[in-house]
Structure 1
Amino acid sequence: MWRILLLFVLATSSVVQCDHHLCPSGYSRGQYLDASTQKYLLCWKVDWSDRSITFSAKVATTGWIGLGFSPTGFMPNSDVIIGWVKDSQGYLKDRFATARSQPQIDDIQNVRLLSFSEADGMTTLEFKRDLEACEPKDRSIEEGTTRVIFSYNHNDPTSETALDKHTFAQRISVNLLSGTGNVEPAPLEMDHETFDVLNHNVSVPAQLTTYWCTPYKLPRLQNEAHIIRFEPVVQANHEELVHHIIIYTCLDVVVPYLDMSWDCDNPPDSVPDSVQGCRDTSVIAGWAVGGSGITFPSQVGLPLSGQTGAQYVMMETHYNNEQRKKDYIDSSGMRLYYTPTKRRYDSSMLVFGHTVNSSLLLPPGKDEIITETVCPAACTQVGLPSTGVNVFGTILHSHTVGKGIWIEHSRGGVQLPNIDSNYNYDFNFQDFVLLRNEVKILPGDVVQVFCDYDTSARTQVTIGEEGTLDEMCLAFLLVYPRPQLFSCLSQIGVSVLRSYINQATLKGYYSDLVNNSAYEKTQRRQFEQSVRNMDWSNDDAYTLWEKEFWSSKKRDYFCNDQMRKNLLGAPEEVGNSTSLPEITQPLTDARTPKPCTTVTTESPTSSSLDLISNLFLVAVLPLMAKGIGN
């Protein structure tokens, strides 16, 4: 099987900051949306019982402030909330932006102002809304990524329909309902210690993409310990250079090379394949731009040292040198926290999804292409312990044309709730998600990863590969107890692919494909180039692709253990064959919204209004207006 890549390759962003300690009491999550200036603090809390979310926005202005939820990160078609405080009165309106212009007030108001204040040059608004969209001009807040736009102006509006243009505006992607900040981190043991795995003054090549390999010896402890947290250590001013860091377990074959580091794709002749092969083994830590560190649950840790724990590692750093600068000297890496007080369970990472190769074949010009992968019952039956594994965290990954990823789970034909879902995937923002409720995967269960792509802006085919402009479809699950299984990846069957290529070649869609044996490992670069040069100008090319290839239910899959050995005894490059599962009891669509509660109440008149005051406003005053109160 081709090398498994944990390529969390992202566009420029910054490490997520969790600033909920600055939030009012009761708020579970908060961060400065403008990390560099720290003038817009947004805090939020979710009430799952009535499926609502409450925000507290504290902004360094005495004018209006805005918060919006966008499908693209830009103003058009955004659900926008704008409010301000003037003459001791709070104002807040639910609006909709049709263009890059003043958002218009919605006919139906689905947001409620709870409190407000203005003091010391700061405006604070607290407001609440439903998670689900209540009318066409609202946007639902779903699990996964939410693209947030935020803005403010230093002047109060003269009226609700006369707002000056924003003084400041930005956009950011945030996990409002998931993400590491929504689960209270487990406290670290008092005896915990840290160590850094860092690059050593790497002279970064003046090229767009470089993967840099650095072997490392971990602290050698007398007894096995547990890694309980990891976080990035990115060199100052290199936030746009360092795109991901992955730490793989390694054997003592790296010992002679511990004083070296090299370009992973062009290693020195002295570095043997056995050392390069460390990048095919299990992972103990990973980070990507846009993400943050992660703290493990209190009963779980990654083994370190001792008889079974990691002793040597290979750190892979992806540099994205867009400016091709020649003077980058980098010493970024990861910081790992560990405790000698061994926890109850050993943790591990499971990888599901599509093999990283050109059998992932996405034609250009399509606004929706959904790929379906499968890890069948035969693999989980042999790869998981009899009691199964508990999933407590995930990270989902595709590249720049990916727009949605979700993990489906079934047992005996009965579909269970998704393990994780992100229907608004953003390549610029990926983070570990700690699940609110752990998910049990049992031996014999089926796990499927679905990826949704939009290639409408492309004119050439997109294939599965490691480049940023290529694609992937991968899901990484943090689980315990540690199973034999490490990865279960699948692809449309090679026999189906070869038949399709033969037909496409006969019709002239492939102009330079010599023969279908080019798909074999030794000639795959030739095959990939042929695929990239395929002629899609004829509509029949799409029809053939869909009918003879993409609609196939046949899959080849690779069920591998922590050391890349196939658990079912199949050759590494061949794998096993299966078909997509038959779901006899499908799950009701989890995205179906609940009935919404329309908010029609007036705003509070001071920040001290409590529940009784609100009830008075919405219940007693209308009665008095009718004369009932006399």
Structure 2
Amino acid sequence: MFPADVIVGGVKDGQTYFKDYHTTAHAPPTVDQSQDWFLIAGKETASGTILTFVRKLNTCDTADDIVITADTTRVIFSYHPDDVTSGIPYHGATRRGAKSVMLLSSSLTADDVQLPSDIVTFDFLADNYHVPSDTTTYACKTFQLPALGSKHHMIKYEPIITPGNELNVHHMVIFRCPKHVLNHYEFRCDNYTNTPKEVADCMIMSFIAWAVGGKTFYYPPDVGFSLGTDADPDFFIMETHYDNPLARSDIVDSSGIRITMTPTLRTHDAGLFLFGMSVSSMHVIPPMETDFLSKVICSSKLLEKAIPAEGIKAFAILQHSHLLGKEMATRLYRNGSELKPLAVDKHYDFNYQDMRYLSEERTIYPTDTLELNCVYDSSHKRNITLGGLSTHDEMCEAFILYYPRMPIDYCSSFPLYNTITNDVAHIYSQVKSWDWADPAVRAKFRSAVENSLYYQHTFGDTYAFMANTTSKDNSAAHPYIEPPDTQCQHISGSTQDRK
């Protein structure tokens, strides 16, 4: 359990014991000099021991405590059958566990939302799909929304996962089609060349994005996604990514997503904006790197073509990468300076991805620039990793929920590696044979990415809105600096004062 902020506690003979520890190595924890966790209650029942305790988010005890942030937090736990009042014996190989959580999640729950009485639901579900024994499968299925008769707002969506398949259904994206489609299809969509031509235009306009670990999502009380009008989609494709690392051939799945709609309209029509690296061999991650940074840029030259002068309001975000993903951040620039990022996750977990509310709505103006940072740990790899659909390929994407809806659905970019080659389409063939074990080679590639021009491309409904530009990354000029925690500036060194 290293590095970790640790609590050891229990109940013995009706008396609660409780103490604040920390770890300094892969060894038994050490008692904190400053006891900053405080016990509220403890009891022992027939089913186990229950402890309730509290701590400041930032105790200012930087030597021993970890600051609690809005990042993904890895909670680890262990327990022992005997009371531990002196010394800490090993808990055993089976009495332990770990879970990623959002300790500061601001997501709405059923207790926060009063749904209207006139709701209707529709299910996008697989139908006893026999998952291939391939380690990665993308399966697509089309759906026709029943006639609603009038404008409705989608105000909620929730995953429905076939019991036993929780770890195999990795993510689902529902795309909306810009036109009515006559036929229905089920097809493998690992390779976009397999997509029927009639629905090819559908695979760029996202409607719902869900990933493993995600829960039910409720739209804010004044926002909904418009359905039911002549201008709204009624034909959809659900893309399901199955992760099958054991290459099983016995997985049968009927998972999907249920949407909840209402004719009781809300004030604003929502949109979903997909912002990411081109999913292709132009996304290159070198091996043997602990913190390799890939950037995605969507500049004001593109945003100004679609965002209204008063801006759009972003209220939630889902950041997505694959197995090498370590950190992610969606950054915002205005007038040459970086503002507070929309979202930062320094502890990205491939198996815990959720649409997360922003702590406050953020306005994005047409003169702003968006940047997505994906940090990868490829230290265990010996060959380069490319962008792609497989779990073992990589992605760098952010799905941003916002209002009011604008005509841009997607903005992608990729580095042109212009200091390496003029033939960017064949960048992989240029670098695949490099001696990546040589630190100088890896430094050369990092420099090429850092100094690269970026090609950027946006599009919207039926490709009616398309634009592209090429620009250089200027984000380092005036980076955002997190303000210091003022409560820690006046803390003296004494234990009592720190409390």
Please report the TM-score for the alignment, with normalisation by the length of structure 2: 0.90
1:123 is aligned to 2:49: yes
Please state whether the residue corresponding to 2:349 is helix, strand or coil. Answer: coil
Q: Cα deviation per residue 1:564-605 (whole Å; 9 max; x = unaligned)?
A: 45543xxxxxx311222367654322586851868957xxxx
Match of 1:578 in 2: 471
Identify the match of residue 387 of structure 1 among 299, 303, 310. Answer: 310
1:102-181 paired onto structure 2 within 5 Å: 102-132=28-58, 134-157=61-84, 159-163=85-89, 165=91, 168-178=95-105, 180=107
Alignment of 1:176-215 (within 5 A): 176-178=103-105, 180=107, 185-215=112-142
- By how many angstroms is 1:108 displaced? 2.7
Query: Could you tell me which residue of structure 2 aligns to residue 543 of structure 1?
Result: 443
Cα separation, 2, equivalents of 1:77 and 1:370: 24
Three-state SS of the structure 1 residue aligned to 2:304 is helix
Q: SS at the partner of 1:544?
A: helix
What is the match of residue 488 of structure 1?
411
The change in CA–CA distance for 1:312 and 1:528 in structure 2 (over 3 A counts) is same
- 1:582–1:250 distance in 2 versus 1, CA, 3 Å: closer
**1:275 offset after TM fit, Å?**
1.5
- Confirm whether residue 560 of structure 1 aligns to residue 487 of structure 2: no
1:350 is matched with: 273
How far is 1:164 from its partner?
6.0
Structure 1 residues 240 and 424: CA distance shift in structure 2, 3 A: closer
CA contact (8 A) 2:315 2:357 kept: yes
8 Å CA contact retained: 2:285, 2:386: yes
Q: Is the 8 A contact 1:405 1:449 kept in 2?
A: yes
Q: How does 1:265-284 map to 2 (within 5 A)?
A: 265=190, 272-280=196-204, 282-284=205-207
Aligned-partner Cα distance in 2 for 1:105–1:148 = 19
1:445 CA displacement: 1.2
Residue number in structure 2 paired with 1:64: none
- Aligned CA RMSD, in angstroms, stands at 2.7
Contact 2:297–2:413 (8 Å) recurs in 1: yes
Q: Please say if 1:79 is aligned against 2:2.
A: no
Assess if the C-alpha contact under 8 Å between 1:244 and 1:288 holds in 2: yes
- How many residues matched? 493
Q: Secondary structure at the match of 1:117?
A: strand
- Checking the alignment, whether the CA contact within 8 Å between 1:406 and 1:450 is kept in structure 2 is yes
Percent of aligned pairs with the same residue? Answer: 31
Q: What is the Cα deviation at residue 100 of structure 1?
A: 5.0
Partner of 2:177: 250
Unaligned stretches of 5+ residues in structure 2? none
Counterpart in 2 of 1:304?
A: 227
Report the residue type matching 2:186 in the other structure.
S
Task: Tell me, yes or no, if the aligned pair for 2:142 and 2:236 is still in contact at 8 Å.
Answer: yes
Looking at structure 2, the residues matched to 103 and 600 of structure 1 have their Cα atoms a distance apart, in angstroms, of 19
- CA deviations on 1:347-393 (whole Å, 9 max, x unpaired) are 11112232222232221111112233322112221121222111110
- For the 8 Å contact 1:383–1:561, the answer to whether it is kept is no
SS of 2:395's equivalent?
Answer: coil
Partner Cα separation in structure 1 for residue 296 and residue 193 of structure 2 = 36
Q: Residue in 2 aligned with 1:97?
A: 23
- Specify the SS of the correspondent of 2:257: strand
Match of 1:588 in 2: 481
In 2: Cα distance, 1:125 partner to 1:449 partner: 40
Counterparts of 1:414-453 in structure 2, within 5 Å, are 414-453=337-376
Aligned-partner SS, 1:595: helix
CA–CA distance in 2 between the matches of 1:181 and 1:379?
32
**TM-score, normalised by the number of residues in structure 1:** 0.73
The amino acid across from 2:488 in the alignment is P
Q: 2: CA distance between counterparts of 1:87 and 1:326?
A: 52
Structure 1: runs of 5+ lacking an equivalent: 1-74, 503-515, 569-574, 602-617, 619-630
